[in-house]
Structure 1
C-alpha cells in the first residue's frame, strides 16, 4: 500500500492544501483562502482520476475553508468534514465577523445564506465527522486528533497518517511565513501554542514529516523554527514602543518570511497598541 502526499501552495495568505492519496482515492486537507485558487485545486483533484473521499477543514479560519463552496459544487457527493462541532461553530462565527468588517466582499458567494442573502453559502452542509479515523480506499488510516489547546485557533485538528509517516499540523506550525497572531490570539494562547509544539514532538515522534498549514514540509526542526518565531514575537511586541518599531524588528529578524504585508501587520496591530 503506497500513500502519497502532495502540497498545493496558494499565493493568498501563503496557505497550503494537502492531498493525501493512495492508488485510487484521496482526501483533501483544507481548501484555501481564495475561491479561484480552490478551483485550481479542484482541477488538480479531478485530473488525478481518483475518488475524493472527503474534504477535511482543520480549523475555523477562512484561509482554510473559503474553497468549500467550490468543492461542494465540483464534488457534490463528497462530504465536507470538520472533526468537532466546535470547529463548525468557529467557521460560522468567523464568517459572521468577516461579513461585519467587509472581509468577505471579495468572496461574496461565501457570505452565509440567509433570507436576505439566498445565494450565500449554506454552512449547514458542513458535517461533523462521526469518527476519529478516516480510511483511504486501500486501507490507509487518516487520524483526526482534536485535543489541542486554544492557540493560533481556538480549536484545531492535527491529521496523522502513520503509513506515510506524516503529520499535518494545521496552523500550529508555520514555516517561512509570518504566523497569525491577530485578533483573539492572546499572549496566553501563544504560551499554549508553545506547549502544543512540545506535545506534537512527544506524540508523533522525532522522525515524522511535518506538513504545516503555511509553508513547506520538513522534519521536526519545523517545530523549533515556529517556537523561536513565537518567542521572538512575544519579546518584540512587549519591548516595542510602537507598531512601526515592532514590525521593523520582526522583518529584520525574519527578512525572508512571507506575509510581511498581511499576516504580520494584523498581528502587530493586535499586540502593540501605541
Structure 2
C-alpha cells in the first residue's frame, strides 16, 4: 500500500469570482508534481508554496488544457518542465493572443505581463513516473477547449483522474469554443475508461467529483445542444437567443457559480455548434 500519496487542492483567483479555478499539488512518496497552474500570480505562488512546503523535490507541471485560467500561472514555474500536448500548447498561444488584455483588465497586477507556456510535448498514451507513481496522458481532443486531456494514475487500486474542465462539477460551463458535440463523446469515453470508484479532479467546482457526475455533465451538455437546435438561426446570434439558452441552462443547474462564464463568447459557441449540427445532418 502506498501511504504517502496525497492530492492537495488549491482554488485560484478567477475574474469576477475570487476562488473558482482549481489546480492540484500531487504528493507521491518521494516527489511532487503540480497539475494546472491557475491564472493569477498570487494563486500560482500559493500553489508553488504549498508544493515546496511538503519537503520533497518539485519535479514538473502537468497541463490538462490551454485556457488562460489554467496556464497563465505558469510564470511561477518557469524553472520546471511543463508537459502538455502540442494541441494544448498551440491553443494556449492562440488564447493568449486574443485574451491577455482581458486578463490584465480583470486581474491587474495579479496578471503576468509576459506569459509562460508549456515546454515539453506529451503524446496520447505517454507515461511519466514521479516518485514511483505513473501518470499517463490521454488526449481527448476538442471538448471544453480546442484540445482537452486527462492525466490518469492508479494508486492502491483507485484511479485518480485529472480531467481539467471536461467536468465542471455542478457549476456552469464555457461553450465559446463550440465543441459541445465532441465534448459529449469525451464524457462517454471517460465513462468507459474510469471505474465507479474513481476520483475525478476537476477544473471548476467541488473536487474530487464522482463517476455519477459524468452523467450529470453529459446531461448539461445535451440540454445545451437540444436547446439551440430549436432556436431560430439568426446570425449574428441575438441577445434573445442568448437569453433563452442561459435561462434553460439555469433551470437545469440552478446555481450562480460560473454563470457569467456560460455567457462569455456564447454567441460564437452557438454559431459553431449550429454549423457542426448541419455537418452531422449532411
Q: TM-score range by the shorter chain?
A: 0.7 to 0.9
Change (3 A) 1:121 1:79: same
State the TM-score, normalized to the length of structure 2. 0.80
Partner of 1:154: 146
Q: Is the 8 A contact 2:38 2:71 kept in 1?
A: yes
Q: CA RMSD in A?
A: 2.4
For 1:162 and 1:122, how far apart are their aligned partners in 2?
A: 30
State the secondary structure of the residue aligned to 1:157: strand
Partner of 2:221: 230
For 2:175 and 2:53, how far apart are their aligned partners in 1?
A: 36
Partner of 2:276: none
User: Of Structure 1 and Structure 2, which has the larger fraction of its residues in strand?
Assistant: 2
Where do 5+ consecutive residues of structure 2 fail to align?
A: 232-239, 272-282
State the secondary structure of the residue aligned to 1:256: coil
1:220 to 211, 223, 245: 211
Partner of 1:264: 262
Change (3 A) 1:248 1:50: same
Where do 5+ consecutive residues of structure 1 fail to align?
A: 112-119
For 2:116 and 2:202, how far apart are their aligned partners in 1?
A: 28
For 1:238 and 1:266, how far apart are their aligned partners in 2?
A: 20
Q: Is the 8 A contact 1:62 1:95 kept in 2?
A: yes
State the secondary structure of the residue aligned to 1:247: helix
- Kindly state the Cα deviation for residue 102 of structure 1 after the two structures are TM-superposed: 4.0
- Kindly state the Cα deviation for residue 49 of structure 1 after the two structures are TM-superposed: 1.7
State the TM-score, normalized to the length of structure 1. 0.82
Matched positions, count = 251
2:186 to 161, 184, 196: 196
Partner of 1:168: 162
- Kindly state the Cα deviation for residue 107 of structure 1 after the two structures are TM-superposed: 5.8
For 1:268 and 1:194, how far apart are their aligned partners in 2?
A: 18
Change (3 A) 1:169 1:10: same
Question: Which residues in structure 2 correspond to 1:1-274 (within 5 Å)?
Answer: 1-2=2-3, 3-12=5-14, 14-72=20-78, 76=79, 78-82=80-84, 84-99=85-100, 102-105=102-105, 106=107, 110-111=112-113, 120-121=114-115, 123=117, 126-129=119-122, 132-137=126-131, 139-146=132-139, 148-163=140-155, 164-182=158-176, 184-185=177-178, 189-215=179-205, 216-239=207-230, 241-261=240-260, 263-271=261-269
- Kindly state the Cα deviation for residue 248 of structure 1 after the two structures are TM-superposed: 2.7
State the secondary structure of the residue aligned to 1:95: helix
For 1:52 and 1:107, how far apart are their aligned partners in 2?
A: 28
- Kindly state the Cα deviation for residue 27 of structure 1 after the two structures are TM-superposed: 0.9
- Kindly state the Cα deviation for residue 243 of structure 1 after the two structures are TM-superposed: 2.1
- Kindly state the Cα deviation for residue 43 of structure 1 after the two structures are TM-superposed: 1.7
Query: Where do 4+ consecutive residues of structure 1 move more than 6 Å?
Result: none
- Kindly state the Cα deviation for residue 142 of structure 1 after the two structures are TM-superposed: 1.0
Change (3 A) 1:211 1:102: closer
- Kindly state the Cα deviation for residue 197 of structure 1 after the two structures are TM-superposed: 0.9
Q: Is the 8 A contact 1:152 1:181 kept in 2?
A: yes
- Kindly state the Cα deviation for residue 245 of structure 1 after the two structures are TM-superposed: 2.9
